[in-house]
Structure 1
Amino acid sequence: MSHRVRWLAGACISTLAAALLATAGTFVTPQRPAPGGKAGTGIAVGAYLHYGSPGVERMQGLSRWLGGAELRAGHTYLPGDTWANIEGAPDSLRSWARWRKAKANRLFVLNVPMLEGNETGAPDDQVAELLRSGAEGEYDHHFERLAKRLVALGVPDTVIVLGWEMNGFNYTHRCRPDPESWKRYWQRIVAAMRSVEGQRFRFDFAPNRGGDAIAWTRCYPGDDVVDIIGMDSYDQPPGHTFAEQVTQPYGLQQQVDFAKAHGKRISYPEWGLFRNGDNPEYVRRMLAWIAKHKPLYHSITDYCPHGVWQCGQNPRSGRVFREFLSKKGRGRP
């Protein structure tokens, strides 16, 4: 999904719905996983609420809406407009770092673009040239600076969702124009960030669900430079039903199987509603899928049209989400 659109997440906050809080119908929801366990165990639940400091503040509101349920995954994005921002210049990183350090069992998940001008619509030949430059080490210093900044902020264990949705058509950091250079570039970025003393980063390879512009398996850069196999999976084609989203080529089942074959955990950095509107069946089945396959973390994209809390357009889906994840269960306050 477009990072530019994510910056508009706050536009839906005025529609935070009393209607959502008051919905009283009953849905059959999948069985929730057993709570408890040692700190840091189980699936870390999160949501993308805003790219900057307001996202940190809204984590508390979402937790209250969920009856006090713990949100352990804090998720944000670095802007891909300039190298300075990709190096971690936004002041909001300090707010996210404070949130992460407040509890030992939290995860900080940071989407990191691989190239500046990431949403400028660069043509394939230009992208290929940029990827080749990256593969030759021209941009290593930008990622070393980012790594040093994260370590200095006290978040050396950040989950880095690097070059997300690389199998798509839109981002400048897309893979299709030159898959071999893309993979070498990823390898160089990981090496640059891992060279920084004190780092404990985990790197999350997170394509779009489905084939999109290129099979995401063709972009996989290797087990030694990937820690997590993620997937961004919205309620949209390809896959008109959830069953099709599971079984389609390069879909949810293939992600699980690929991760198992490579000895990796899975994640869902982005998921949510989209083309099919307020679709509680999708939310119910996605949550059941997550409960069954136990990703390291999942993060719903919570603004219109995707969300369930900040977006009043999806009250039925919001009720399913709340009933399933509420600390007290079944939507009770």
Structure 2
Amino acid sequence: MPHRGRWLAGACVGTVAAALLATGGALATPPREDSGGDDGSEVAVGAYLHYGSPGVDRMQELSRWLGGAELRAGHTYLPGDTWSNIEGAPDSLRSWARWRNARADRLFVLNVPMLEGNEAGVPDRQVAELLRSGAQGEYDHHFRRLARRLVALGVPDTVIVLGWEMNGFNYTHRCRPDPESWKRYWRRIVGAMRSVEGEQFRFDFAPNRGGDAIAWTKCYPGDDVVDVIGMDSYDQPPGHTFEEQVTQPYGLQQQVDFAKAHGKQISYPEWGLFRNGDNPQYMRDMLAWIDEQEPLYHSITDYCPHGVWQCSQNPRSARVFREFLSHR
């Protein structure tokens, strides 16, 4: 789905409240409140608001806009430009760790690229070579460093959305150039991160909805290295109606069925409006679908053109989203 310069998200900000809370200072991990924990009984709601510390600040503002609805899923991305960033260099991870540790029932969801230069337009032949190198263990040390950093920050239970949208055409960590090497590389990464003492990571396999460049089932690396079956799904073809988005090959229903067959929870790390503009019926249908399927978490992409809070161009959909969640 739209790889869209995530790191500049917020350029389309519409009607966000001006006074956001300031963050800073050294990380201090307080005791987690005893609020029942993540027992799977309630869907964790989240939104992608900004990749850095402003995203943490805006969580509270969005909650207020939703009438106090609790946002339990904090979602961000590691930049895929350099290995140092994939290793967890961004200082904003400290802010996200503080947010996660403020309540025991929160989830920290982190999208992790599998290769540097992830949006650099790398050709298929080179991608295949990189995947083969990864499958042979050349990049294991980068992911061990990331795992150690997350454990040290007090977020050893991070949900890792690894190599997201691997069935697409764009990202360097795409699967199509060499699916077998891609799967072996995923397994190497999971093994490297699980080798770090104290880790409790969950790994989320999250393709685009639909067939895209390759059937996402051909990229599935195995039940022993996947904990959650996610799907990124926006209001765009293939699937001109929501019913088609559900029933299309490799669509929403197939995700649910596949996860059930493999004994996995589901998630929706990215979803929102796109090609069909302000579409309140899509918003109703997607929220009803999520409500029925009870995923581990879902996270709306909240910047233009996808969003409903930071983007003022979708007022009818914003009302639907706000009313649905504020009534919870």
TM-score by length of 1: 0.91
Pair 1:272–1:320, CA change in 2 (3 A):
same
Counterpart amino acid of 2:176?
Answer: R
1:95 partnered with 2:95: yes
Q: CA deviation at 1:3?
A: 4.6
Q: Which amino acid aligns with 1:142?
A: H
Partner of 1:22: none
CA separation in 1, counterparts of 2:2 and 2:82? 16
Match of 1:215 in 2: 215
Structure 1 runs of 4+ with >4 Å offset: none
Q: Please, what TM-score do these two structures have when normalized by structure 2? A: 0.92
2:114 maps to a residue whose letter is: M
- Contact kept, 8 Å, 1:202 with 1:226, in 2: the verdict is yes
Q: One-letter code of the match for 2:96?
A: W
Shift of 1:39: 4.2
Q: CA deviation at 1:57?
A: 0.2
Deviations 1:230-262 (A, max 9, x none): 000000000000000000000000000000000
- Asked if residue 62 in structure 1 is aligned to residue 62 in structure 2, the reply is yes
- Contact 2:228–2:265 (CA<8 Å) still a contact in 1? yes
Query: Deviation digits for residues 26-69 of structure 1, max 9, x if unmatched?
Result: xxxxxxxxxxx944330000000000000000000100000000
Where does residue 176 of structure 1 map in the other structure?
Answer: 176
Match of 1:120 in 2: 120
1:52-95 CA deviation, whole Å, 9 max, x = no partner?
Answer: 00000000010000000000000000000000000000000000
The answer to whether residue 140 in structure 2 is matched with residue 140 in structure 1 is yes
Q: Corresponding residue for 1:296?
A: 296
Secondary structure at the aligned position of 2:232 is classed as strand
User: Which residue of structure 2 aligns with residue 106 of structure 1?
Assistant: 106
SS in 1 for 2:171: coil
Kept in 2: contact 1:111–1:163 (CA 8 A): yes
One-letter code aligned to 2:165: E
Amino acid at match of 2:129: E
8 Å CA contact 2:36–2:105 kept in 1: the answer is no
1:86 aligns with 2:102: no
Aligned AA (2:264): K
Given that 1:109 and 1:159 are in contact with CA atoms closer than 8 Å, whether structure 2 keeps it comes out as yes
CA distance in 2, matches of 1:155, 1:63: 22
Q: Give the whole-Å Cα distance in 2 for the aligned partners of 1:3 and 1:243.
A: 25
Amino acid in structure 1 at the alignment position of 2:255: Q
Instruction: Give the structure 2 partner of residue 198 of structure 1.
Output: 198
C-alpha distance in structure 2 between counterparts of 1:299 and 1:225, whole Å: 23
Once superposed, what is the RMSD of the aligned Cα atoms? 1.4
Q: Which amino acid aligns with 1:147?
A: A
Is residue 86–residue 112 contact of structure 2 (8 Å, CA) maintained in 1?
yes
Structure 1 Cα separation of the partners of residues 13 and 216 of structure 2: 34
Aligned amino acid, residue 85 of structure 2: N
* CA contact 1:17–1:311 (8 Å) conserved in 2: no
Where in structure 1 are there 5+ consecutive unaligned residues? Answer: 19-36
Query: What CA distance in whole angstroms lies between the structure 1 residues aligned with 2:270 and 2:72?
Result: 15
d(CA) in 2 for partners of 1:4, 1:274: 12
Counterpart contact for 1:16–1:312, Cα < 8 Å: no
Aligned to 1:156: 156
CA distance in 2, matches of 1:16, 1:46: 17
What is the one-letter code of the residue matched to 2:268? Y
Q: Which residue of 2 aligns with 1:42?
A: 42
Aligned partner letter, 2:181: S
Aligned-partner Cα distance in 2 for 1:53–1:13: 16
Identity of aligned residues (%): 86
Q: Is the 8 A contact 1:12 1:304 kept in 2?
A: yes
- Could you tell me how far apart the structure 2 residues matched to 1:203 and 1:220 are? 12
Give the aligned partner of residue 76 of structure 1: 76
Amino acid in structure 2 at the alignment position of 1:139: Y
- The one-letter amino acid of 2:11's match is A
Q: Which residue of 2 aligns with 1:13?
A: 13
Tell me the matched-pair count. 310
> 1:244-285 CA distances to partner (integer Å, 9 max, x unpaired)?
000000000000000000000000000000000000000100
Per the alignment, residue 314 of structure 1 pairs with: 314
Offset of residue 6 of structure 1 = 1.6
- Tell me if 1:271 matches 2:268: no
Alignment-derived partner of residue 32 in structure 1: none
Equivalent-residue separation in structure 2 for 1:67 and 1:39 (angstroms): 23
Letter in 1 for 2:121: G
- Give the match's secondary structure for 1:108: strand
Structure of greater relative contact order (alpha carbons < 8 Å, 6+ residues apart): 1
